[in-house]
Amino acid sequence: MTYQLHYWPTIQGRGEFVRLALEAAGAPYIDVAREPPGQGGGESALMRRLGDPGHPRPSFAPPFLVDGDLVVGQTAAILLYLGPRLGLAGSGEADGLWTHQLQLTIADAVAEAHDTHHPLSTSLYYEDQREAALARAKAFREERIPKFLGWFERILARNPAGDRHLVGDALTYADLSLFQLVAGLRYAFPKAAARALSHAPAVAKLHANVARRQRVHDYLQSPRRIAFNEEGIFRAYPELDG
C-alpha cells in the first residue's frame, strides 16, 4: 500500500516530520499536493480532501495521511500510527509510548518556534507584530531553546542503550524529529542554536548522525527536500536571533 501524505507543497512545515519518517524507512508514499494536477495532485487536491463533506472524521488542517480508508491527522498522531509499521517506534508498548511522548515535546518546541514570528495572531503579517515578536523571540532564545535542548541532552545521557538514540538502540521517529527541530533552529536562530548546542553535544551528535544515514542523506540531497523559507515554521529573521 502506498501512503498518501497531504501537506502544503512549498514548505517543510509540520509535514516534514512525517516525510522524514517515510523517507528514512524507505516507505512508498505520494506527496499529493506536489504531484501534477493532471495526475490528481496539486494543492487543489489537498483542499478537496480536506474539505470532503462526506468524511465523518475530517482533519482540521494538514498534514494528514491517507492509508486506504483510514485518514490520520495531526503530526504526532500520524507518527504514532506510522511508527510501528515503519519500525521506527522502538520495541514494545513502553517504547512506543515514550517515543510518542518525545514527539509531543518536540511539537511543543515547534509551536513555540512558530510563535516567535507570529506571537499575536497567525492572521497578521510578521511586520504587523514585529515589536511583540522581538520580545517573544528573546525569551525563546534565552530560556526556551536551552531548556528544550537541555532536556533532550539528559534523555540521551539517561538512555540505558547509549546516547546515540533517544529510545533504545535503534532509530525512531523521535530521533528524526529531533534532527528536524535542530535543523530548523539552526536556520532560524543560528547564533542562539549554536550557544544552546554547545551545552548539548549529544543532541548535536545525534543531528549529525541522522543526517549521515543513507536514506536520510539521499533525501536531503534530493529535490524532494524543500528548502527552509520564510513561509514555514522556522523563519530566518536576523533581528529575532538577537
Q: What is the pLDDT of residue 45?
A: 80
Q: 3-86 has which fold?
A: Glutaredoxin (3.40.30)
Does the pLDDT at position 167 exceed 80?
yes
- The mean pLDDT value for 171-196 works out to 98
- The mean pLDDT value for 39-49 works out to 79
Q: What is the pLDDT of residue 172?
A: 98
Least confident among 1-5, 131-135, 146-150, 217-221: 1-5
Domain spans in the chain, listed from the N-terminal domain onward: 3-86, 92-214
Least confident among 52-66, 73-87, 117-131, 193-207: 52-66
Q: Is 5 helix (H, G, I), strand (E, B) or coil?
A: strand
Q: Model confidence over 133-158: pLDDT tens digits?
A: 999 999 999 999 999 999 999 999 99
CB atoms within 10 A of CB 195: 16
pTM of the predicted structure, to 2 decimals: 0.95
- Please state whether beta strands 29-31 and 3-6 pair in parallel, antiparallel, or not at all (unpaired): parallel
- The mean pLDDT value for 185-213 works out to 98
**Cα separation values, 167 from 15, 50, 124, Å:** 22, 34, 39
Does the pLDDT at position 118 exceed 90?
yes
Which residues 6+ apart lie within 8 Å of 117 measured at CB? Answer: 126, 133, 137, 235, 237, 240
Q: What is the pLDDT of residue 144?
A: 98
- The mean pLDDT value for 199-218 works out to 98
- Residues 92-214, CATH architecture: Up-down Bundle (1.20)
